[in-house]
Amino acid sequence: MQYYSLAGQAPAADFRTATLKGQAPDRGLYFPSEIPRWGKAFLEELPGMARDEMALRVMEPYVGDNIPSAELHQIVHDTLDFPIPLVPVGNPHSCLELFHGPTLAFKDVGARFMSRCLGWFASERGEKMVVLVATSGDTGGAVAHGFHRVPGIEVVILYPCGKVSTVQEKQLTTLGENIHALEVLGDFDDCQRLVKQAFADSSLQSHLSLSSANSINVARWLPQQLYYILAWQQWTHRPVPPVISVPSGNFGNLCAGMMAWRSGLPVARFIAACNANATVPRFIKGNGYRPQKSIATYSNAMDVADPSNFIRILNILGHSPEDCQIILDADSITDEETLKTIQQVYHRFGYWLDPHGAVGYLALQRWMADHPSLHSGYFLGTAHPVKFPSPIEIAIGTSIPMPEQLQALMSGEKKTTEIPAQYEEVRDFLKRLR
């Protein structure tokens, strides 16, 4: 499998090169030269297929011969080594709970796959690598834990000061050792801009072996297909395909689901469930792609005004609203609606929603109400509600019990370096890691 840049000005790369670079030299995102088609036999076997076998068969075409099959099998086993249940939440909705991994967030899947791939490549190269990532919330913790103590790899995480939850901040700032947290005096779009500047800096690249762990990286983005397939294995309404509501910020999660759909996964409809940062919902409704300054919301991991991965979705579907509407709808949910949904779902079903899951739930509920002929669907539970205590307490009036695995974390010492949103600060920090 080869990967090409969506900016169209860089040479093709194999999986190893695309993973190590993170972003193409022309600042474009890498995209696979073809989307594998699974075939009838695979789809027929899929409901009863072991998850390791499924994951290996899905990921092998993307990885090619860059990682031996036996090693890739171990990587996908480690990637999915925790439950990913599809849980009923009222009728007819279900939640695909993606928060049972080590950092209680969906990004554990992509981060675990990528860290193990990079660990393999680092051992082959015998040289230090620096992983640079921007986070609006859960990416930082997932990357930090996925790469903690991986030999030969230093991790630098940029996050916006005061704009992530307390649990999220603890997860990305307390590990230390090879994990370095930069607390940026700005918003997530500033963090993302600084990361992109670093990857476009040829003088820096000559000093460092630099890679990215954001969803722009193919090794973090592509394995997210796997849990959509696990959901289909648990889907009790087969052969009727589900409507899938995806809480969407940087759009890597939704884009991964679309890759699985293009490969043959049955899907009736995708819904991009957004908060007040409604650039994509406006575009889908025909109002142009006009990013505005990001707005802080309770669903902070989705506070992205100019989502990097949306260009990949346009590459899959087409570049007009009409092309996208073949399979994609989008909705924008306010903070007030988010709190009300958390409250109503808890009181009706005894189910705790985090703010991102609440956005996904309400977008699904509204879409299904407008399309009663379709049977049912599910939304993605992208993070454990305990990571967002403030909106939960405002909505319900009580605090959610803290899982045992977080109790020790919350007493950990925060280790960060505070910097202004200026590229020179990031560049100088990275150079000191050589």
Give tens-digit pLDDT for 10-32.
Answer: 999 999 999 988 889 898 999 99
420 vs 165, more confident: 420
Confidence of residue 213 (pLDDT cuts 50, 70, 90): confident
Average pLDDT on 215-239 reads: 94
Q: Are 161 and 404 in contact, with CB atoms under 8 Å apart?
A: no
How many Å apart are CA 361 and CA 379, to the nearest integer? 6
Cα(140)–Cα(415) distance, rounded to whole angstroms? Answer: 14
Check residue 156 and give its pLDDT.
95
- pLDDT over threshold 90, residue 189: no
Look at residue 205 and tell me if it is in a domain.
no
141 found inside a domain: no
- Of 99-108, 116-125, 319-328, highest mean pLDDT: 319-328
Largest CA-CA distance found in the chain, in angstroms, rounded: 60
- d(CA 133, CA 120) in angstroms, rounded, equals 19
For the entire predicted model, the pTM comes to 0.88
For residues 281-309, average pLDDT: 92
In the predicted model, is pLDDT for residue 321 greater than 80?
yes
Among residues 201, 156, 160, 166, the alpha carbon closest in space to that of 184 is found at 160
- Asked if residue 190 belongs to a domain, the reply is no
- Cα separation, 195 vs 17, in Å, equals 18
pLDDT per residue as tens digits for the range 197-210: 998 888 888 888 88
Does residue 40 sit within a domain?
Answer: no
Range of weakest confidence among 155-169, 229-243, 272-286: 155-169
Provide the pLDDT for residue 387. 84
Does residue 95 fall inside a structural domain?
Answer: yes
Number of residues written out for the chain: 434
Q: pLDDT higher for 72 or 120?
A: 72
Looking at the predicted structure, is the pLDDT value of residue 127 above 80?
no
CATH number of the domain enclosing 98: 3.40.50.1100
Q: How confident is the model at residue 92 (pLDDT cuts 50, 70, 90)?
A: confident
What 3-state class would DSSP assign to 399?
coil
φ, ψ of residue 121 in degrees (nearest 5): -65, -35
The predicted pLDDT at position 49 comes to 96
Residue 259 phi/psi, 5° resolution?
Answer: -65, -45
CA 61/CA 79 separation, integer angstroms: 17
In the three-class reduction of DSSP (H, G, I as helix; E, B as strand; rest coil), residue 233 is classed as helix
Q: What is the mean pLDDT of residues 263-286?
A: 96
**pLDDT for the residue 293:** 87
Tell me the residue type at 373.
Answer: S
Domains: count for the chain: 1
Using an 8 Å Cβ cutoff, are 421 and 137 in contact?
A: no
Please say if the pLDDT value at position 376 is more than 90. no
pLDDT-above-90 percentage for the chain: 68
Residue whose structure tokens are 């940087």 = 250
Q: What is the structure's pLDDT at 136?
A: 76
Tokens matching residue 110? 């992509």
Taking Cα atoms as reference points, which of 285, 287, 131 lies closest to residue 209? 131
| Angle made by CA atoms 409, 410, 414, in degrees to the nearest 5 | 90
> Considering only 224-238, 285-299, 343-357, which range has the smallest mean pLDDT?
285-299
Mean pLDDT in residue range 352-376 = 92
For 109-173, the DSSP string reads HHHHHHHHHHHHHHHHHTS-EEEEEE-SSHHHHHHHHHHTT-TTEEEEEEEETT-S-HHHHHHHH
Q: For the residues 157-169, what does the mean pLDDT come to? A: 89
Q: What domain range is 230 assigned to?
A: 83-105+221-396
- Bigger pLDDT: 202 or 4? 4
Greater pLDDT, 359 or 411: 359
- The 10 Å CB-count burial string (b at 16+, else e) for 104-137 is bbbbbbbbbbbbbbbbbbbeeeeeebbbbbbbbb
CA dihedral 48, 229, 144, 214 (to 10 degrees): 150
Identify the DSSP state of 306. S
Contact 83, 98 (CB under 8 A): no
In a domain, 312, yes or no: yes
Average pLDDT, the chain: 92
Is 155 a domain residue? Answer: no
Characterize the bridge pairing of strands 153-160 and 129-134. Answer: parallel
Phi, psi dihedral angles at 321 (to 5 degrees) = -55, -35
Question: What pLDDT score does 279 carry?
Answer: 95
pLDDT band at 301 (very low <50, low <70, confident <90, very high): confident
Residue 162 located in a structural domain: no
> Of residues 190 and 123, which shows the higher confidence score?
190
